[in-house]
Structure 1
Amino acid sequence: MSKHIHVVGLDAFNGTKLQRIDVPEGLQVHALMAYDEVKGQDTIDFDALLQTASQRLRGSNQPVDGVIGWWDFPTTSLVPQICQRFELHGASLESVLKCEHKYWSRLVQREAIPDYIPQFCAVDPFHEDPKSQLTLDYPFWIKPVKGFASQLGFRIGSDADFDNAIQIIRREIGRLGDPFDALLRKVDLPDAVAAVGGHFCIAEEIIGGRQCTLEGYVHDGDVQIYGTVDSIRLPNRSSFQRYQYPSRLPRRVQRWMEAVAKRIMIHIGYDNATFNMEFFWDPKRKKLSMLEINPRLSQSHADLFEKVHGVPHFQIMTDLALGRAPHWTGREGDANCAAKFFIRRFSDARVTQVPDAETIRQIEADFPGCQIDVRVKPGTVLSDLKDQDAYSYELADVFMGAANQQELLRNFSAVRKRLKFRFAKPTKQRRHPDPEEAGSIT
């Protein structure tokens, strides 16, 4: 009899990936909640989303063998609560929050891996004198305790940078801060964490070097890392240029990261779910630093794993949701390396033209395995887009595989030239990236 998996935030692009995975009994996928219900909303009512998901599961005429999701908050926190209510396999909500709440996460990291984290402090942006709370010298990063995709994350190098960032954060932090506070009320928090709610920020010492992301899982207390993806940034040091797999970091450094990752995940008590963990390796200083833990796999990496391994890492997530030890393959894909490339713009505009369907079809035919996901449409005002980083707007994603990195970059360059976007000035420009931060990017 087929296994039935219910997905929080099912989207068409990743839904096709689920059809590629191997479940011996066969797999049937159901949309518990659509993508638009959990992503891109102006407001998020966490309790209402949880109630809706629970009602739909209770009213479903299909078996419920597992519930999964690959998006960040609120999905990451909805899934464990749904699993708990319906006695399904998954991580506990408390262990998820020890990853999601950036300040709480740093506190538990300081207990287990103090040599691998930066200096940090909590900042209330609504304090009458926010600067008085800082225990760090410039430069540093400031970001909400709950955020993702570098939203409201600012590199601070001066008083002026700090004041400007605080103004923007005060205006926009409530979108995630309000529902995150509603979630935090469901858990008994340590005193040090209870005082730092969803409207707080964390300031952190700058860490640098070569960035990568470890993809892993925990099954019955056994922590496993199954892949490392290089996260390559643009000159502005905030926006990602591409994710590339497999990592080109030295294997000894990857093993070092894996040991650190296993130590902290055991300490947190996270179990029976996937995670990813971001690191920086500074080869000059021989220094390893951990940036953050995400209590989910990265859906951005699914196509990369599929191109190299022959199956997306949704296989691992699904196995865990079914209560099984994950089944993972060797390198059985068509490519030796693969990447997700981001096409971005660094100033506000109104989109007047995007690549048409025929152009995309022809490019994908000319470069077998290439997939292009255009994220905007004519009429889109870029500053209206949700879930963007603080310095750029995402226009399109391009997934490609190749025999080697040289071929990969050469092919993307050819594809990029054929993807034409046109813009006009918006009625009102609402964001002004710092030209120095944007570097030479146009």
Structure 2
Amino acid sequence: MKAHSSKLGFKIRELFEYERALHACRQAIHFYGEPFNTFLGHLSKDAKIPKEANGNHAIAEELISEERLFTIEGFVHQGETVVYGAIETLRTGQHMSSLSSYHYPAELPDDVIEDARVIVDKVLKRIGFDSDVFNAELFLDPISNTLRLLEINPRISKSHSPLFHMVDGASNHRQAIQAALGERPKLPEGKGKDEMAAKFMVRSHEADGIVRRVPSDTEVNELRKLLPDLMVQVLIKEGARLSDLSDQDSYSYELMDIFLGGNNTEMIRDAYERCRDSLGFLIQPMPRESVR
């Protein structure tokens, strides 16, 4: 299976939602399906891939989402699975399916992180994964402490890299490079300038629209005078149409990413609110007949 950024992921409760989701998949699945077919073409002839299945298929699955979502980053070295960081993910939107922010380190008990490591270790051993880094996403039921595995990626997360740098003094690229060199990656030492860090994803939940204004470099630079660790990535240009953005989830459009560090959660939240008040977008809605 291959998925990317929740693209073409839909919550389905009624038949009309199922039919609408199928229509949307047929319009765009080839952007992901055809590259995946190229990958499948390199598998050995012994691979048990049904002839009727290919990259231009989708699956319907049970909804496993819980209130809390988090990611563990780690590595496997000589068969030992080690976790070197946990990042909590907050969500927003119509179905609480759009990612709104990442927070490192996650405020989770050590036993929850260890339970997550054990689950991921079983999967990685089963597929023979070794001598590399990974990140894995899991849902946590805060009442029963039940964990459900969402996915494992055989790589670091670039979204987490600035967060590790702010808190630990070095990004997670260090572990990836050490693993690639055959070394046992070192654990983060917490020698960064900040006690914690976060990435915020500023989104539009409009059906569609034309962007008439984006935050200027001058506005960002003024904020940096107050917030030296601030990093801002504006992801859309003036005059662009929201629906022309690539790799978006099914219910929102990601307009801007904001990275911030601080001493505590309240400090980071206050800094983010200041950024949102100062860095504004202006979006002109599309006529209803033009909306996708």
Q: What is the TM-score normalised by the length of structure 2?
A: 0.94
2:5 corresponds to 1:149: yes
What's the CA shift for 1:284?
A: 2.1
Matched with 2:100 is 241
Matching residue's letter, 1:403:
N
2:275 corresponds to 1:419: no
What's the CA shift for 1:280?
A: 0.5
Cα separation, 1, equivalents of 2:47 and 2:106: 37
Contact 1:244 1:340 in 2 (8 A): yes
Matching residue's letter, 1:299:
K
| SS state at 2:82 partner | strand
Matched with 1:161 is 17
Matched with 2:58 is 201
What's the CA shift for 1:404?
A: 0.7
| SS state at 1:254 partner | helix
What's the CA shift for 1:262?
A: 1.2
| Cα RMSD, aligned residues only | 1.6
Contact 2:9 2:250 in 1 (8 A): yes
What's the CA shift for 1:272?
A: 2.2
Return closer, same or farther for 1:279/1:169 CA change in 2, 3 Å cut-off: same
Residue by residue, what CA displacement relative to the aligned partner does 1:173-209 show, whole Å, maximum 9, x if unpaired? 0011011011101113643565532111122211123
Matched with 1:219 is 77
Residue by residue, what CA displacement relative to the aligned partner does 1:24-59 show, whole Å, maximum 9, x if unpaired? xxxxxxxxxxxxxxxxxxxxxxxxxxxxxxxxxxxx
Cα separation, 1, equivalents of 2:146 and 2:74: 22
5+ residue gaps, structure 1: 1-100, 102-145, 432-442
What's the CA shift for 1:335?
A: 1.1
Cα separation, 2, equivalents of 1:421 and 1:309: 33
Residue by residue, what CA displacement relative to the aligned partner does 1:303-337 show, whole Å, maximum 9, x if unpaired? 11111101100111111222222133311111111
Cα separation, 1, equivalents of 2:255 and 2:166: 23
2:264 corresponds to 1:408: no
Name the stretch that deviates more: 384-393 or 185-194: 185-194
Cα separation, 1, equivalents of 2:214 and 2:25: 31
Cα separation, 2, equivalents of 1:193 and 1:205: 22
Q: What is the TM-score normalised by the length of structure 1?
A: 0.63
Return closer, same or farther for 1:194/1:289 CA change in 2, 3 Å cut-off: farther
| SS state at 2:187 partner | coil
What's the CA shift for 1:217?
A: 1.5
Matching residue's letter, 1:197:
N
Residues 101-120 of structure 1: pairs in structure 2 closer than 5 A: 101=1
Residues 118-197 of structure 1: pairs in structure 2 closer than 5 A: 146-188=2-44, 190-191=47-48, 195-197=52-54
What's the CA shift for 1:166?
A: 0.5
Cα separation, 1, equivalents of 2:70 and 2:160: 12
Matching residue's letter, 1:393:
Y
Residue by residue, what CA displacement relative to the aligned partner does 1:121-170 show, whole Å, maximum 9, x if unpaired? xxxxxxxxxxxxxxxxxxxxxxxxx2211110111111111111000001
Matched with 1:299 is 158
Which of 205, 217, 222 is equivalent to 1:346?
205
What's the CA shift for 1:426?
A: 4.0
Cα separation, 1, equivalents of 2:53 and 2:183: 37
Cα separation, 2, equivalents of 1:329 and 1:154: 37
Cα separation, 1, equivalents of 2:250 and 2:147: 26
Matched with 1:389 is 249
What's the CA shift for 1:220?
A: 3.1
Aligned residues: 287
Contact 2:81 2:117 in 1 (8 A): no
Which of 336, 339, 363 is equivalent to 2:223?
363
Matching residue's letter, 1:168:
A
Q: Name the one with the larger helix percent.
A: 1
Return closer, same or farther for 1:254/1:194 CA change in 2, 3 Å cut-off: farther
Matched with 2:191 is 332
Return closer, same or farther for 1:429/1:273 CA change in 2, 3 Å cut-off: farther
Contact 1:381 1:426 in 2 (8 A): no
Matched with 1:3 is none
Contact 2:93 2:251 in 1 (8 A): no
Return closer, same or farther for 1:187/1:333 CA change in 2, 3 Å cut-off: same
- The percent of aligned pairs where both chains have the same amino acid is 34
Contact 1:349 1:429 in 2 (8 A): no
5+ residue gaps, structure 2: none
Matching residue's letter, 2:69:
Q
